[in-house]
Structure 1
Amino acid sequence: MTLTPYRETLALRGIRSLLLMATLARIPITAGTVTLTLHVTLDLHLGYGAAGLVGAAFTVGSSIGAPVLGRITDRKGLRPVLVLTTLAELTFWTTAQAMPYWALLIAALLGGFLTLPAFSVARQSIAALAPESHRLPAFALDSITTELSFMAGPALGVLISTTAGPRVAMLAVGGGILLSGIGLYLLNPPIRGKHETPISAGERVPRNTWLKPRLVAVLAISSAATLVLSGTDVAVVAVLQNSGEVEWTGAVLGLWAAYSLLGGFSYGTVKRGLPPLVLFAPMALLTIPVGLAGGHWWLLALLLLPAGALCAPTITATADAVSRLTPASARGEAMGLHNSSLTVGVALGAPLAGVVMDTWSPAWGFTAVGGVGLVVAALALPAELRRRREQPADEATDPADESADPLASGAAGPAVELPSPEATAPTH
């Protein structure tokens, strides 16, 4: 394994500062859900069902808002969106801690809709800053730093909530998002490459020219991947709790995260990426037998290794494919859809695993989420087979062009032809 791809990628102008700022900006965002949960249960003295509704409202708002904010970014630029979302988030987190439950439920929906788009903006900017030959390692670094943010954010949220109180934690989240918004505003990472049409040109690309079955398949895989991940997370806790080894939960989940980080880091060094489906299908399949570990924490940690090593590479491959399957003028909306897909998967995985585990046993949670993942992989298979049929024809048309389809390779060229200025029309 060579580190040359990473050295070259980090040497690109703007990549280091973008990754650093994005990592820091994501920490308070990832702390938000657990902080809201603890506020509802500890401060409002309500149950976890009520807390789950608030979290669901925030998630629904975020899933709807991400593509909308991305579309505004495509048309108006990044800074207006950063100002809007930073002020909205600051207002939500500073006032939510004083709201009654019913008001908090409504505010969570609006707050989620106007979430600071740190995740999608980072990926959109990576696509603008990194040439196609370096997008794979760039997105791998983004996936790694995202995982680090998810490891730090919730832990800090719990720490502040259990020491100073959930209301203080909510104010801390608001302050962190304010600093993140200011940082991103000052950094102002580019969302269009130097060779791409600037926002000022007002180019509009109809959605039906890029939102095609191949991209829909990638989005479905993205959602299914995080469904498997969130369901696995809950199943690990349930299995260890059922076997009386709950004290090993942190160690097992830590090893699982380490597998993903190592897998993502290794994947970023390959010369040609793999189709998201090729990475996701075995990840889902290898999740099913994890439940065979029974009550042995060390065996559970060992069985998580194969699927865990494919987590970050799968997310990396989906982000890379989305960036190549969409034109620059629609990249913000597409990355917003990608972020929504990831969010929806996270929201669905835990309840799915929970229902199955309550009905049968904790071990069946892995089977449930892995099985759903395989179903999604099967539904996405026709798009992959179609790509394989069309690829030889494309190569025969242009023998000098060795680039593969975006769904297939990290070294792929643009998969959507940009319409000429005369052919462009407002997006519907």
Structure 2
Amino acid sequence: MNYTGGDIKRLGERLRNIKGKHISDVDLDLLQAHRLSFTDPLFKTFKELTQFKSTIQRSAIIAFRLKRITTIINKVIRKPDMQLNRMWDIAGIRIIFSDEVSARKMVNLIMQKYEVRGKVRNYFEDPKKIGYKAFHVYITEPESGKVVEVQIRTRDTHNWATLLEITDVLYNTRLKEEGYENNPTLGRFHELVSSEKELEPEEADFLYKTLDKYDFITKLAETFRKNSSIVKKQWQEVNTKDRYFLIELSSDSVPKLSSYKDYEKAEIDYFNAYKKDEGALIVLTSVHKPSFEQISIAYANYILSYHRFIKDVQEIIKVLALEKLEERKFKEFRKIFRLYENIQANNIINILIERDDIIIRFEGKALSLESNSKISSKKKKEIRKTVETGIRQMGRNHRQFMEDIKETMSNGSKWNWRTKAFLKKHEDRVTKRLKSVDLKFD
């Protein structure tokens, strides 16, 4: 399809005027043609950046995507001054390093190798109000003159960003697109989660109350458990030569993953899926040397089978529980301790969910494990050792927490009898849970 920059500018104006609704087939085809015009520049830049990032950190994850049609339309509507023909982030590459030092090295390398459009956006030094941190660099692909956006994150800041997007999926918010103001409570919650400083008591209390109000941990854990075996079974069908992945997230938060050797076929399927359901969350991506772990990290907000937050938030909850004891707010302590217990139970399951070669089924109180290949005696021993080591570590941490509770309580003038009985009951229950994981192999 032949078109000019003026044609695309006028297309953006039409999309803005109709608020993205009832788009004509002609305009939709034009928008798709404009998206696809970034394909070759994106492929070339991705190949180059893959080589560059490996000189800094071979284990860094790199992925690319063309911006989703829905997101392009929403951005044009949301930003009245945005001209579609000058939208710089239609082609996007994301690189995830383990640390900020490596991320900064990558930014400096890109600035040496490419023509950079505008200033580097350093959200590490100047985070968005909601807590977003990353480097955004806009570079010109020399042959086509097309602009490619490069997002450079650390594992920690990427985990935060995907948690924000998971929240949007589970609670029907638009925090990623609209920011803090879309939902001030969840906005502040994510701002605090992104903070690297020790939280003030008021901040930790707010975090807990938000977790409680939205039943956040339970909803996350139930979604992850539901999806873990589904996505792993889909991944087991992936051909080793497939490099492109279409991930569709339905309204009930169940992902569908399809893989392709041919990018053109993948784009046709993406476009057809969009036309079938314009509101669906659908992304077409490629990951260098793809593995289930890499795609689960890079697109945790689509895969919805695991997130580190459930593990990380436990330490904040423990500190807050001890503070409530010191203040002799026993009723609040008991509520917080129940959340701690919920997290503890989910972390047992996460020891297994983290493995990409094992599918988990729940059979009563037992966990039944299956694999795409026969689970050999050697693998059984390895799995049991991993689980036992994880549970022993959790047990040690739990016992230390209980010792901290007893010490805090003994410093008070008098034990609260109801809290004492509550702790005895729950300590027995958590300890029993830690010891009772029964593994069955299929």
Higher RCO structure (Cα 8 Å, ≥6 apart):
1
Q: Which structure: greater strand fraction?
A: 2
Q: Which one has the largest radius of gyration?
A: 2
Q: Which structure: greater helix fraction?
A: 1
TM-score range, shorter chain: under 0.3
TM-score (normalizing by structure 1) = 0.28
